Amino acid sequence: MEEEANSLQELLPHLFRQEYAKMTAVLCRHFGLKHIEIAEDIASETFLKASENWAINGIPKKPAAWLYTVARNKTKDYFKHLSIFESQIKNELSTGKIQEEQQFEFDNQHIADSQLAMIFAVCNPANSAEAQICLALQILCGFSVEEIANAFLAKPETIKKRLLRARTNLRNDSFQLNSLTETDIKSRVETVLKTLYLLFNEGYFSKTNNQLIRKELCSEAVRLTLMLIENPLTNTPKSNALLALMCFQSSRLDARINNKGEAIVYEQQDKKLWDKSLMERGNYYLVNAFDGNEISKYHLEAGIAYWHTTPDDESKWQHILQLYDQLMLMESSPVIALNRIFAFAKVYGNEKAISEAEKLNPNESNYYHQLLGYLYADQDIEKAISHYGQAIKLTKSKTEKQTLTKEIERLYNKKTSH
């Protein structure tokens, strides 16, 4: 029984992350964005019923299919109850704002179509670009307020207010999922790409849940971006560049952590664990990304990720540094600046890189202190330990703290052995 309970505790959050957003998207296609809370309530009640039922009767053979059956039945029940509501609700039903339940299905194609429509519907100009992305991350990706705050480097209270305003604007707007025009799609695709980029980043280098890597988020980001590629209206050079970036980064996921969940630095990664098929897919989408004259941040980051998957040669890090220099001109950020310093160290050495890093001086960044700890490790062990200690104080991640503590222990042992 205890094993069954543990299995249920692991399975439900996983299914919630994978299926809740899909379920909500299909339901919203029927209820309309004005009634998004109804869709979310039905999806939430479905998972609540699963937690209660499975704890007593055990996990069904096909858990996802069970969930969709319950959601379908709950939706049919809603439509039945709707028929006895006051005339105002009946009138709304007859206007087509809520589709009839006879058309209601959860097949794979319907889910994919609904999610694609939902992404663009949520990225609604009625809200600011940042609010659109916040809402999409919450509704479509199942992000918590804390995860969204981490993605935006903002306070949770700020994100809560932003989400509340965005949902109100969405409710007041009569936009329907089925009325997407070519103009709607083209005007919103930039925000959609940014949302998927942030979704992948949270999976690739997670700041929450004490996990360094969350593969399910990376997989979901790849799946949704692939949907854009498969649609002629959204199969753009930028979309291809973003998918290439995701493929290159995903190819190294298994090599980035050990069996204890601790980070493995790039130089120590086992290249035999790199996924060659994903690298080849990355190459394919990167070639497609240059079908035109546009060069975006996704092109540059995909180029950097490509060079990270290639064998070491004399020019590799020079290419990476040049791409970071271009990226800094296009979109400067503390994270990009620190990543550039790492490449700079590979080309010009740690001593010069330390001087470059100290010019940035973002003292409240744990990544800044991690980088300086790494750069000082072979030159001044005391300073390296001090910076790693500061990084431990600044990070909230339990996994990151463990990895950094282990590195400090290694440096202490190195120091005492001399």
Q: Which is the CATH superfamily of the domain at 311-418? A: Tetratricopeptide repeat domain (1.25.40.10)
Average pLDDT over residues 118-146: 80
End-to-end Cα spacing for the chain:
54
pLDDT band at 376 (very low <50, low <70, confident <90, very high): very high
Q: In this structure, which amino acid lies at residue 408?
A: I
Distance separating alpha carbons of residues 332 and 5, to the nearest angstrom: 47
80 contact partners, CB below 8 Å, separation of at least 6? none
What does the domain layout of the chain look like in residue ranges? 1-106, 112-174+186-235, 311-418
DSSP 8-state symbol, 272: G
Any idea what the Cα angle at residue 75 is, between residues 74 and 76, rounded to 5°? Answer: 90
The encoded tokens of residue 131 equal 């609010």
Categorize the per-residue pLDDT at 100 as very low, low, confident or very high, splitting at 50, 70 and 90: very low
How does DSSP classify residue 253? G
Q: How many CB atoms within 10 Å of residue 367?
A: 17
pLDDT attached to residue 222 = 92
Confidence category of residue 93, pLDDT binned at 50, 70, 90? very low
pLDDT band at 6, cuts 50/70/90?
Answer: low
Cα–chain center distance at 267: 25
pLDDT at position 311 over 70? yes
> Residue 351: pLDDT band by 50, 70, 90 thresholds?
very high
* Residue given tokens 């809560």 in the structure block: 160
Rounded distance between C-alpha atoms, residue 13 and residue 82, angstroms = 31
Give the whole-angstrom CA distance, residue 351 versus residue 376: 8
Residue 101: DSSP 8-state: G
Handedness of CA 235, 218, 128, 176 (dihedral sign): positive
The Cα–Cα gap between 71 and 111 comes to 13
- Collapsed DSSP state (helix, strand, coil) of residue 205: coil
pLDDT tens digits for 239-260?
999 999 999 999 999 999 888 7
Average pLDDT, the chain: 83
Q: What per-residue confidence (pLDDT) applies to 113? A: 66
Q: Helix, strand, or coil here: 41?
A: helix
* Two tokens, residue 285: 């989408």
What is the rounded CA–CA span in Å between residue 187 and residue 236?
13
Alpha carbons 172 and 32: distance in angstroms, whole number: 12
pLDDT number for residue 356: 93
- Rounded distance, CA 194 to CA 217, Å? 15
For residue 309, which phi and psi values (nearest 5 degrees)? -90, 0
Is residue 214 over pLDDT 60? yes
Residues 6 or more apart whose Cβ sits within 8 Å of residue 68: 19, 23, 106
pLDDT 10s digits, 29-47: 666 666 677 888 888 899 8
